[in-house]
Chain A
């Protein structure tokens, strides 16, 4: 394609292939000999990072698809069985879910780099537009992927986003029905989303090939915005860019690993651990953090169709950038006004993202409208204006001159922007989770949990006591259907032996059949059986509990959360705080009050609880002192029961937590060492290029 290639293999077999399909020459000219500007900074490593993320998402996705069932009644359970039963299933799932967020983070950085350095300008317009197409495909893929686990957010996010198309005049309803394959989001929708979610990443891969081809025609842009003129301006891609990309990728992997192993639910929503319920909409529907700015723009416009048009326009306007910003100078380094407004624009985007996670009330609405205006004004008013009136600083004569003129200030902007990005990212991520509890509820007190932190472990005694509390108190109304008796003997759990788990199982009567007479019968439990539910179906459960459905407790500590508030959710990222669920459950169990406060109208049949949203809970106080006696002599108090049963329920929600943290430590040690090695290797390779 472009770049010098005098590549001729010496091996006769390779020569034979090369003559018929010159693939080695292609690889050589594109990725080995390819002339790369020698002044590229680390913002340019994100192209390689994105390629790695695409490959990783496809690999983990194809593997997850070997175990996932895309059917509405089985999807949620199949995801849980991946996490619980498939070898390393928890790792693959975490990689894929966190990977989606990392993919979007990398793409936003990649896009902002393009904005700042004018990488969309002539002759790279088509390269840029192909990028916008890739971004749109990524958004579609990410949206459909999030629907697949079929949790509450999956279902309701699908409902809200597909309903957007009903804004289309005249054809809207028909389009939505076509998308749904039914009269509402349901099984047909899930099935087709699965098919398309599997397909689109390969479409993305195809467009990426075009994207790289277009890139290689024009060559990379560079921080000076001056095109290469002589051989002195460039270095061969291998080993220079290759090693630099590898190092950058490794640093990114470290950041990625932090989420996979230590903060797997930080970027997600607790509501998605509740199976989809078409009859109950969550109090705060929020998309994943990477859609939040566009969600804010959508909600800012009071008109339905105009809001939808504004949201899509916010993405499409990017495609017109090369014609909106016609300034000759490419790099904002030499455009002082454009540089300042660029950072203002970044702030606008971050704030829009933060607003997207807030409920659309009061000042948030006004702020949203102002920021939406700012967003469009940047593209449609400011950039064209600056093209005309701005006086840019003189650009260097050549890339070689730019490299020689380096005063060492190159690294500081990188570091400070990384820090700014980290804070912005934490703001974003925390804001998505803060969507709940704008109701000024009292936050549950933070407890000390033995399983918290990077080396946290379950207290085996607490797990066994908690199991006893569950069995003697909670199991009367609440199921635990994701836990099998054999799990009691698994590593990282309550520490039963296989024989003890079998004995425990045989105490239970499990319904089985039909037998040869066609009848159902009861038999003693076996290790492979799951904890039986106290009621045969939902209707029986409601009838026995005054119309309320006691939720299954297997996932309860991951399905509940509360607002941590700013700036705590930023610190949470660094302290690995993931214990909102356990804090809530523990507080709720102890938060019952005999008399509601004055002025509070408690509905008939409900009980007052300090921490339950809305304070009126259908469950009567379940725990009282002396209810359960422990063999190890632990105090028979409500506080002890609450702590132990919550610890037990954290284990039922995530049985492989200890394995996750243990492997995380090993991966981190390796990655830190490897990154260090790569850093020094990169320095050595580049030593003679500077």
Chain B
């Protein structure tokens, strides 16, 4: 096939082969990127996931609503004083996922609980105002969350996540 090249030192032929091989490898890797990147969310999906504004005025005390943001259900609860006190009375160290109630609400707006309604176990939507803790109950495998959305009982490992949100006014929040 090829004549035995002097293996003592790199020849011009070797340099050429290495250069060509390297160029092929670089070209190959760079070419793969568009084929992978196209699976990421496209511009219209990202645009549809833009922040939304929710008006809190129609939500009475003790009521909650469910809105969708980025395809995920979000519970917005107007908590009663009883629910807030119960949540704050719990010793934090005893929780499976320790977190204070204050850390999960906005200061000055303690009556508003905004959580993503996806059970942290395997993804079902927990039912509001159910369970032993006046919070949420997930029917799939029996996880129970309290009135701050924290896991108290059941297989779920973590508290219901709080999405990024801020108060635009006293009666309006922007989620996202």
Contact = CB atoms under 8 A, between A and B. Distances in A.
Interface of A: 59, 63, 66-67, 81, 84-89, 91-92, 236, 239, 484, 486, 490, 526-528, 670, 673-674, 677-678, 680-681, 684-685, 688
Interface string B49-78: 010000000000000000000000000000
B13 A684 contact: yes
Given A236-B1, A527-B47, A89 B42 contact: yes
8 contacts: A63-B35, A81-B44, A86-B42, A89-B38, A92-B34, A670-B23, A673-B23, A681-B16
Given A87-B42, A89-B42, A484 B19 contact: no
Nearest to B58: A516
Contacts of B34: 87-88, 91-92
Given A85-B44, A486-B47, A92 B38 contact: yes
Contacts of B20: 674, 677-678, 681
Contacts of A527: 47, 50
Contacts of A684: 13, 16-17
Given A92-B34, A236-B1, A677 B39 contact: no
Given A81-B44, A688-B3, A86 B38 contact: yes
B169 interface: no
B37 A87 contact: yes
Interface of B: 1-3, 13, 16-17, 19-20, 23-24, 27, 34-35, 37-40, 42-45, 47-48, 50
A685 B21 CA distance: 14
A63 B38 contact: yes
A506 to B, nearest CB: 13
Given A677-B23, A684-B16, 8 more contacts: A86-B42, A87-B38, A87-B40, A88-B37, A236-B1, A527-B47, A674-B24, A688-B2
A492 to B, nearest CB: 13
Contacts of B50: 526-528
A499 to B, nearest CB: 13
Contacts, number: 68
B38 A88 contact: yes
Contacts of A88: 34, 37-38
A607 to B, nearest CB: 38
Nearest to B3: A688
A236 B2 CA distance: 11
B148 to A, nearest CB: 28
A484 B48 CA distance: 11
A87 B37 CA distance: 6
A318 B93 CA distance: 83
Contacts of B3: 688
A81 B43 CA distance: 9
A88 B30 CA distance: 13
A23 to B, nearest CB: 23
A91 B37 CA distance: 12
Contacts of B17: 681, 684
The 10 closest A-B pairs by CB, nearest first: A88-B34, A528-B47, A85-B43, A85-B42, A87-B37, A86-B42, A677-B20, A85-B44, A681-B20, A674-B23
B129 to A, nearest CB: 21
- Secondary structure class of chain B's binding surface, majority of residues: helix
Contact of A66 (B23, B39, B43, B47): B39
Contacts of B23: 670, 673-674, 677
B154 to A, nearest CB: 33
A96 B35 CA distance: 13
Nearest to B26: A670
Contacts of A490: 43
A380 to B, nearest CB: 46
Contacts of B43: 84-86, 486, 490
A528 B48 CA distance: 6
Contacts of A681: 16-17, 20
A583 to B, nearest CB: 30
A574 B25 CA distance: 31
Contacts of B47: 484, 486, 527-528
A484 B44 contact: yes
B125 to A, nearest CB: 20
Report which residue of B2, B17, B20, B40 has the largest number of chain A beta carbons within 10 angstroms of its beta carbon.
B20
Contact of A680 (B1, B16, B39): B16
Nearest to A529: B47
Contacts of B1: 236, 239
A490 B34 CA distance: 19
B35 A59 contact: yes
A88 B42 CA distance: 10
A508 to B, nearest CB: 16
A680 B45 CA distance: 47
B24 to A, nearest CB: 7
A677 B42 contact: no
Nearest to B22: A677
A677 B37 contact: no
Nearest to B11: A684
A678 B139 CA distance: 64
Contacts of B13: 684
Contacts of B35: 59, 63, 92
Contact of A677 (B2, B19, B38, B44): B19
B16 A677 contact: yes
Nearest to B34: A88
B27 A670 contact: yes
A527 B43 CA distance: 12
Contacts of A63: 35, 38
B84 to A, nearest CB: 28
A635 B141 CA distance: 71
Nearest to B49: A528
B26 to A, nearest CB: 8
B51 to A, nearest CB: 10
Nearest to A84: B43
Contacts of A66: 38-39
A81 B17 CA distance: 43
Report which residue of A88, A236, A490 has the largest number of chain B beta carbons within 10 angstroms of its beta carbon.
A88
A236 B1 CA distance: 8
Nearest to A682: B20
A527 B24 CA distance: 42
B137 to A, nearest CB: 26
Given A528-B47, A528-B48, A674 B27 contact: yes
